[in-house]
Structures are given as structure tokens and as C-alpha cells.
Structure 1
Amino acid sequence: MQDQESERWDDVRVFLEAYRLLSLGMAASRLGVDTSTVSRRLAALERRLGVRLFARSREGLLRTVAAEQLFEAAEAMEAAHARLSRDASSVEANAEGTVRLTLDPGLAEFFVAPALARFRAKHPRIDLELDASPIPRDLRRREADLALRSSKLAGSDLVTTKISVETWMAVGAPTLIGRLGALSSWDAAPWITWDRDMSSYAPAQWIAKHAPRAPTPLRTSHFASQIVAAEAGLGLALLPAPYARRPTLERARTTRALAASVESWPRSELWLVAPRILRDVPRVAAVWTFLVEEMRAIVGSSTSRARGR
């Protein structure tokens, strides 16, 4: 019985390599067997399932609809086998393929994209697709493999971990901060704020409440534009703490008169989310681990730096 289970797992391994590489020869080389063995294993799997998984062409293998449908279950089996064997090296060896990550544009541009060279050096066989959009994607419908989100998603079919709790703070270009001095009223500073489509957003509401008569030289819901404008000295912007570590921005100086409003700065959470069935798939697990380590290092660094100002 154990031998039969081992043979079936070997067939699934062959299927995964053939699916990913679309070549019998390359799959055989990766598995350390000859091409005839790969062909025989695939044929055995097709007979057992009663479907055709690949069509042959001069360019290599062509996936059938049945292969596309089987791939997710095969990856889940691969992940379960890696957990069972507790072999971290095999997980690293099998970490390959494409992972689609959905996240806010600001996170993508300022934190994730700059870290991708380090990720690629560690996982050269994983390709990342960044869906940098404020529009939420449905992980249950496989619109993405992973998500960095500001709210926790509930459901037994999802796995989540909290990356951080971030405090937003008023920041601006050092020249502007120096010119403004210690503020006794938020109305005394020019503000970069959110456009009307984001008026219900907590940071926008904070500015509307505490700086109702302040000049607003720019309203935009494009986060990167807010940051660039603040760096250029156009006005103060309310940004999450990780952005305060940028050398081109400095926290606003305040007097005791603004102590209560500073204490009421908005807070937001950052969560990493994945479908449960994909969480331990090697390619997804590799990205998950990297994002947790990378984002927590960034948040920890920015928080200590912001507190030191």
C-alpha cells in the first residue's frame, strides 16, 4: 500500500514538472530520470484519471483543460508532502512558478518593488505579478494568490497574519517643517489631503476635523502623488509611520496645544492573506515568508526612527 502511495506521489511530481516546464526532457532532467520514465508516468496518471493531460507538439507539451483543473490540487498535494516530510530544503527546491500579489499602490511602489531584487536572488525560479491597485481582489475566486490588505478577511478558507499596526502622522519636507516651526494649530499649515471620493477614509476625516480651515493646495487620492508633493514642500501630508523613515520627510513639530490631536492620529493594520489551499504551496510559501520578514523589518525600522524624532 505504501509503495502504491509512493508511486502515485511520483506520478504527481512528474505531472507538476511537466506542467511547469512544458518539456518531457526538461522535466526528466529536473527529476533526475530519463525521458521515457516521465512519459510512462504521465501515461499512467492519465489512465488512472481517465483524462488526457498534455498534447504533444514540436515546441513541447501543451496543457489540456484537464491539466489546468488538476494543477491546483497537485500543488496542494505537493505542499502537504513537504509538510509531512518536514524537509525545508525540498520546499526551497520546488519553489518555482508565478505568484500574483495584490496590494495598494503605495506599498508596491515604495516597499515591495524595491525589495524584489533581493527576493529574486533568493528564489530565481519564482516570477511575481504585482497587482498594484486599490481595488480589492477576490482571493476565493483566485484573482490573486496573496494579498497585503489593511483589514483582516474572515473565513475558514483563508489564512491571515497581521504584519503590523501603523500610526499615521503629519509629515512634510524638512524645509517646510523648519519654516512652520512648532505648530499650535493645524490650520496654520498647508495640507495635502484626499480627494472627495475618499472623504470617508479615516486619515481624510482626521484632516477635515483637525484642520478645517487650513489651505489645501492639493487634493488627490493617488497616494504616490501625495508623497511626492509632500517631499517637494507643497504641504503637510498624513502618512503611515513606515513612510516617515524616508529621508526627504520629517515629522511635524507641535506644541502641547496639539497633544490631544496627535494622540488621535489614525491607525491602520496591515494583513497578509492567502487561500488556505495555497498557503503551503512552495512558491506561495516562499513569497509569504519573504513578505512577512521584509515588511516587519520595514515597519520596525520606521517605527523606531519616527519615535526618535
Structure 2
Amino acid sequence: MPNPLHSIAWDDVRLVHAVAEARSLPAAAARLGVNHSTVFRRLRQLEAMLGLALFERHRSGYVPTAAGEAMVALATRVDADITGVTRRLAGLAPVPEGEVRIATSDSLLAELLLPMLARFRQAHPAIRLDIVTGNMALNLSRRDADIALRATSAPPDTLVGRRLARLAWALYGPLDEADPPPLARLLEEARWLSLSDALGHLAPARFLRGQVPEARIVGRFDSVQALTLATRVGMGIAHLPCFAGDASPMLRRLLPPEPGFATDLWLLTHPDLRHAPRIRILLDYLAEEIAGMRGLIEGGSA
């Protein structure tokens, strides 16, 4: 008699994995791009072929049995293998063409990267750019992005890259003729803008929590770019990266850069991709461009 395990197809494994992750048949169907009844029918057919129940129905949804967990583990291993092969094949691309996905923050994109990327595209029209912005680090090991430009003091050990500069922060406010008051008065009298809890781990946000009365904080923002824009229109004063604050003719430094707020600026990629022509040429280009702006990034000019 034929062994039913020999009849399992990759689509069967994907289906079990999708149900296990989604915990419901409709949600699994949405992930797979099929309808609910198809998932139900295929799951029942697979369980009948194996002679094993793959899921138990609980209040929380579909929970894998031991047999179901084994298939989920198989799906995870195969997915990791496919990702690894995809990375290695990408690394073998012979010419600098194709798509490069870049992950960075909205502030770095708007204030630093966009002009560089526009010039890069003019020089290398065969390379297409896919830009992903956000404050959460994407998983480059799973090809969520090919290159990341991040402000961090601890880049992941699984990535390779270059530390390009030390990203400085200073206190900025509206441009006027009066000399800025000392910090003690600013803490008590100024209207302050802050980063929200989503970025509460950053040093400027921690400083405000400990030094500025809650009543003096008139606005909170979940991105550095939004904080910068709010400062430029005069809502209040805020700590900003020097590359953003110094670039605005509407702002001036109220205090010198705070050394304790600085972080390293890293350009990162996955080891399997670093020699791919399209990745290599963009990494080298960005490193050279950012090196030319190191003085601004490190707070050397006001």
C-alpha cells in the first residue's frame, strides 16, 4: 500500500501553516488567496489521507495537534531554505540592475536620502528602488529589505555594514533675534514638543520625561519627521537631529548638541547580498554621499 506521506504536496504544507498562524479558516483563506470553503475541503481531504487530525477546534480557534505541529515545523524549515536560496541567487546577479529595497526612517529619508537617491537613479536607471519607512527594524535576513540605513548603537550581528557617522541631536526653536534663555528657564517656561511612547526609548524622549513638567509638553509625535515639521511651524521647541534642524532656515539651535543623545548611523545589508552588483553599487554610492555630509550629521555646523 502506498505511504500517504509520499503524497503530501507543498501546497498542503502551506495550507496547514496558514491555518496554524491565522487560527481560523477564513483568515487562512485570505492569506492563501482562496475562499473559505476551499481551505475547509482541502484540510479535511488531507486529514483523511493521513488518517490523522491536524487541528483541534478551541475557543481561541484552530490549534495544531502534534501531527499539525510537525507539518508547521516542516513549512518553517522549507520557507527558511527558500529564503536562503533566494538570497544567494540574488547575490549572484551579474550586472547592476533590478530592484533594491531600502529600509530607513521617515526623517532620514526626507532630510538626507531623497536627493541622493534621485541622483543615483539618474546615474543607474536600470536599478529600481523600493523604499520602506518606519521606526521598527525590518528583518533583512528574510528579505524584508536589501539595505537598511539606521540610527542605532547596536546593529544586528547577522548583518554587515559600515558605521558612517555619529548622529548628533540638539535643541531647536524658532528663528528670532533674541538670545535664547538658559536651559533652566526653557524647562520651566517654554512650550515643548516630544516624541511619543512609540519612540520613548530614545534619549531625547527620556530626557523630557525626567526634566520637563508634563504641563509644558504641548504635543507628542510618533516620528522624528513629524516632530521636525511641528517645530518648524512654531508649535514649540524640541530636540532634533542636527541634520534636520540645521537644514531648516526657520530654526536655530538653542543649545549645543547633547553628547548623550548621539547615536551611530549604520548602512547595513545581509552577508549574502553584499557582493550583488546592484547592492554593492548602491552601498558604495550612499557611503560616499553620506561621508560628504558628515559634518552636518555630526552637528559640526549650525
Q: TM-score, normalised by structure 2?
A: 0.64
Counterpart selection for 1:250 from 249, 252, 277 = 252
Q: Answer yes or no: is the 8 Å Cα contact 1:191–1:214 preserved in 2.
A: no
Helix, strand or coil at the partner of 2:155: coil
Which deviates the most, 238-247 or 213-222? 213-222
Q: Could you tell me the percent identity over the aligned residues? A: 26
Measure how far apart 1:274 and its partner are: 0.6
Q: Which amino acid aligns with 1:169?
A: A
* Equivalent runs, 1:52-71 vs 2, <5 Å: none
Aligned counterparts of 2:159 and 2:87: Cα–Cα separation in 1 = 15
Measure how far apart 1:184 and its partner are: 4.3
1:270 is matched with which residue?
A: 265
1:153 is matched with which residue?
A: 155
2:79 is matched with which residue?
A: none
1:293 is matched with which residue?
A: 288
5+ residue gaps in structure 1? 1-66, 80-93, 255-261
RMSD: 2.6
- After superposition, the C-alpha distances for 1:218-274 in whole angstroms (9 at most, x for unaligned) are 1111322211111112211111221232122210058xxxxxxx6554111111111
5+ residue gaps in structure 2? 1-81
Q: 1:73 aligned to 2:88? A: yes
Aligned counterparts of 2:212 and 2:244: Cα–Cα separation in 1 = 21
Q: Which amino acid aligns with 1:293?
A: E
Q: Answer yes or no: is the 8 Å Cα contact 1:242–1:299 preserved in 2.
A: no
Aligned counterparts of 1:184 and 1:132: Cα–Cα separation in 2 = 33
- Shift of the 293–145 alpha-carbon distance from structure 1 to 2, 3 Å rule, reads same
Q: Answer yes or no: is the 8 Å Cα contact 2:149–2:266 preserved in 1.
A: yes
Helix, strand or coil at the partner of 1:165: strand
Q: Answer yes or no: is the 8 Å Cα contact 1:162–1:271 preserved in 2.
A: yes
Q: Which amino acid aligns with 1:275?
A: H
Q: Which amino acid aligns with 1:225?
A: A
Aligned counterparts of 2:209 and 2:134: Cα–Cα separation in 1 = 25
- After superposition, the C-alpha distances for 1:82-131 in whole angstroms (9 at most, x for unaligned) are xxxxxxxxxxxx21110001111111122112322211121111111000
2:226 is matched with which residue?
A: 225
Q: Which amino acid aligns with 1:207?
A: L
Q: Which amino acid aligns with 1:252?
A: L
Q: Answer yes or no: is the 8 Å Cα contact 2:172–2:255 preserved in 1.
A: no
Q: Answer yes or no: is the 8 Å Cα contact 1:163–1:272 preserved in 2.
A: yes
1:181 is matched with which residue?
A: 180
1:204 is matched with which residue?
A: 205
- After superposition, the C-alpha distances for 1:8-67 in whole angstroms (9 at most, x for unaligned) are xxxxxxxxxxxxxxxxxxxxxxxxxxxxxxxxxxxxxxxxxxxxxxxxxxxxxxxxxxx9
Helix, strand or coil at the partner of 1:217: strand
Q: Answer yes or no: is the 8 Å Cα contact 2:149–2:268 preserved in 1.
A: yes
Q: Which amino acid aligns with 2:264?
A: E
Measure how far apart 1:214 and its partner are: 6.4
Measure how far apart 1:68 and its partner are: 10
* Equivalent runs, 1:1-309 vs 2, <5 Å: 72-78=87-93, 94-151=95-152, 152-155=154-157, 157-175=158-176, 178-179=177-178, 181-185=180-184, 186-187=186-187, 188-212=189-213, 215-246=216-247, 247-253=249-255, 263=258, 265-303=260-298, 306-309=299-302
Measure how far apart 1:139 and its partner are: 0.7
- Shift of the 76–250 alpha-carbon distance from structure 1 to 2, 3 Å rule, reads same
Aligned counterparts of 2:141 and 2:295: Cα–Cα separation in 1 = 31
- Shift of the 180–280 alpha-carbon distance from structure 1 to 2, 3 Å rule, reads same
In the alignment of these two chains, the number of paired residues is 217
Q: TM-score, normalised by structure 1?
A: 0.63
Q: Answer yes or no: is the 8 Å Cα contact 1:180–1:189 preserved in 2.
A: no
Aligned counterparts of 1:68 and 1:214: Cα–Cα separation in 2 = 50
Q: Which amino acid aligns with 1:181?
A: P
Q: Answer yes or no: is the 8 Å Cα contact 1:167–1:265 preserved in 2.
A: no
